[in-house]
Structure formats: C-alpha cells, structure tokens
Amino acid sequence: MALSFRRISSVRSVSSVVHLQHPLAGPALAETLDGGQCFRWRLAEDGSWQGVSGQVAATLRPRSPTELEATLHAGTPADLRAHLADDLDWHALADALPHRTDGHLATCLAAFPGLRILRQPIGEALLCFLCSATKQIVQIKQMVALLAARHGRPLAPPGHCHPIVDNARGRGREGCQLLDDIGPGDAAGGTPGGAAEVHALPTWEELAGVSEQALRACLLGFRARHVAGVARFLAERPGWLEETAALPYAEAKTRLVGLPGVGEKIADCVLLFGAGRLEAFPVDVWILRVMAQRYGLEGWRPAQIAHFGRVHFGPLAGLAQQYLFAWERQAARRPG
C-alpha cells in the first residue's frame, strides 16, 4: 500500500513509522498542517506536530522527507493515511499546474514543494470555516479547540494518553499536553491542571443540542448564530452533507451556499478541504490581494477573480490557491 506502518514498539504500542509514498517535509509539511486549511494541528516545543482530525489524534515527528514517526493517540493508521492524502502524488499534481507559463506560481511551487490538501471530514470543514469569517488563524484554532473541549466526544480513554515509545527513555510525555489545551488564561471548560483528554470536534447532531449562547461562550461571536442555524437545518436532514459531497461541484456548491453563514468562499473551502474537490478555488482577501498585486487584476471583484482562477489554473485551481496563500503568508511574516 501507499504508506506502510512499521511498528517500532511493543504490542500495545501506538507508535509507528509512517513511510510516505511522496515526500512531505520542511515548509511544505508545516504549511500543510498549519497553513489555514485545518485548525487542529500545532507545532509542539519539541518539534513534533500534534493534531486531531475526525477520529484521528496523532503526534508526528519528521524523520526524513518520506518518514514520519507517528504516535496514534486515537484512530487507526488507515485513518491517518487517509487524512494525509498520501495516495495522491502531490508533486505530480503541482507539476500539472501552469507553472511553466506563470512565473509567480512557479516561485510559490518551489518554496513549498510537496504541499498537500488534507482530507478532512466534511462536517468538520464546514464547522471550522463557519468559524473562520473575519478571524485570524490563531483565533479560529482557539474557537475550534473550545468547541472540541466542551462539546466534542473524548477520543481516547484517559489512561491511553501516554504513548509508549520504546526506543527512547521516557519520551512520549509531551503527547499528553495535547490538543484540548487552549492556552493560558482560559479557565473554563477544560480539565483543570491534569492531563488533557483528546476530544473530537462535535458532530452536527451534537451541535444541534448546543445552545447559541454556549456557542458564543466558545468565542464564536456572530458566527454562533450561523452554526446554530446550520445545526438545526442538518438535524432534520440526516445524510444531507454526505449527499452534497457526492454531487458534481456546481450542484454541491449551490446546496452549501444555501446554508446560513455559508457564502461562496466558505462553500469552496468546504468542498476543497472537506470533499477533495481540487477544482474549488476559494477567493478570500488574501487571494484578492495576490491577484491584484501579482497578476495585475486590480479592482476585480471576487466573482471575477474566482472565474479567472478556474480558467487560469484549471482543474487543480484549489491546489494553486493553497500555494499562493502559503507564499503570501510567508511574505507577510518576513517582509523583504
């Protein structure tokens, strides 16, 4: 199979080495896990990546461009493999973008070789991007962490929280400050002082039972009304999201845009990150800036930019968007 898991510890252990079929390292790894396409991965102080998606909770340690040491706190290797979308050749996909005739795109590709679009459960993508409206990534992560800690189901029993890693003494402790830790100064909702449990994001069924006030308490602000509205809508329509994910792109997008709080941009994010539709081309303020400043499309409106993107970048426009976004964020962090 694409990606094999070789156990490196005892029978009960959850630690494995993930052999990637396609290289994922350096800036591409960081940008894939923490570049605004998902909001539950974070870089720990020891250099490991800790994250949750669906039923997966994992700590990843890069060993080589094609090897990740993966400690699974919850979920299966197959789940992790699917989340990382290692069955697709992301270098080949990037090479299929029009970088030979687009110098700026070529620059972005060279800066983040191997950048991926992760596969997230569509319901989680919808929830996260409903929270994203006019918020910075740090704050979206905060909201999502609170939603999981207060309203999500525990993913692993408390005793399961210390991974056994037998090739080093006592390493693995850091796996425990995982995920539901929401930073200093945030008293409520957490497990006081003790080892944090790993929680999944609440399902939409679970969210239907959460009051708008409780959602606001998770720092959602006006987005709480949108989340509550979507929860009410979906509660009466089991399978609606999954059916939507299976529809052709245009039809799926039309359905999503009908949800409260979901416009063109969020619908495209849900389809790109939650339904594997690489043709979806979300147009946000960053992309608007990129197109104005680097493609000379000053004054174009979002709908025009979206059309340009689909035509210019083609069926993998969403991947191009992620590269452009990554480059622009890096430029913003390090001017000059």
Partner DNA sequence: GCACAGGTAGATT
Partner DNA sequence: AATCTACCTGTG
Q: How far is CA 269 from the centre of its chain?
A: 10
Asked whether position 257 contacts DNA by CB under 7 A, the answer is yes
Residues near DNA (CB under 7 A), total:
36
> Is the Cβ of residue 48 or residue 322 nearer to DNA in the bound state?
322
> Can you tell me which of 196, 267, 291, 306 binds DNA, judged by CB under 7 A?
267
Give the interface segment with DNA, choosing from 17-25, 51-59, 252-260, 308-316 (CB under 7 A). Answer: 252-260
> Can you tell me which of 12, 92, 100, 134 binds DNA, judged by CB under 7 A?
134
> Is the Cβ of residue 82 or residue 259 nearer to DNA in the bound state?
259
- Residues belonging to the chain: 336
Q: What is the DSSP letter of 174?
A: G
Which 11-50 positions form the footprint of DNA (CB under 7 A)? 35-37
Q: Which residues contact 248 (CB under 8 A, 6 or more apart)?
A: none
> Is the Cβ of residue 3 or residue 231 nearer to DNA in the bound state?
231
Distance CA 44, CA 166 (A): 20
Asked whether position 269 contacts DNA by CB under 7 A, the answer is yes
Which 276-305 positions form the footprint of DNA (CB under 7 A)? 282, 284-287, 301
Residue type, 170: G
Burial degree of 6 (CB within 10 A; 0-12, 13-18, 19+): exposed
> Is the Cβ of residue 82 or residue 266 nearer to DNA in the bound state?
266
Which 49-88 positions form the footprint of DNA (CB under 7 A)? none
Asked whether position 117 contacts DNA by CB under 7 A, the answer is no
Residues 32, 115 contacting (CB under 8 angstroms) = yes
Asked whether position 137 contacts DNA by CB under 7 A, the answer is yes
Distance CA 228, CA 215 (A): 8
Q: Which residues contact 78 (CB under 8 A, 6 or more apart)?
A: none
> Can you tell me which of 219, 227, 231, 278 binds DNA, judged by CB under 7 A?
219
- Please give the helix or strand (H or E) that residue 42 lies within, else none: strand 41-43
- Please give the helix or strand (H or E) that residue 249 lies within, else none: helix 249-257
Residues that bind DNA (CB under 7 A): 35-37, 132-139, 216, 219, 221-222, 225, 257, 259-267, 269, 282, 284-287, 301, 321-322, 325
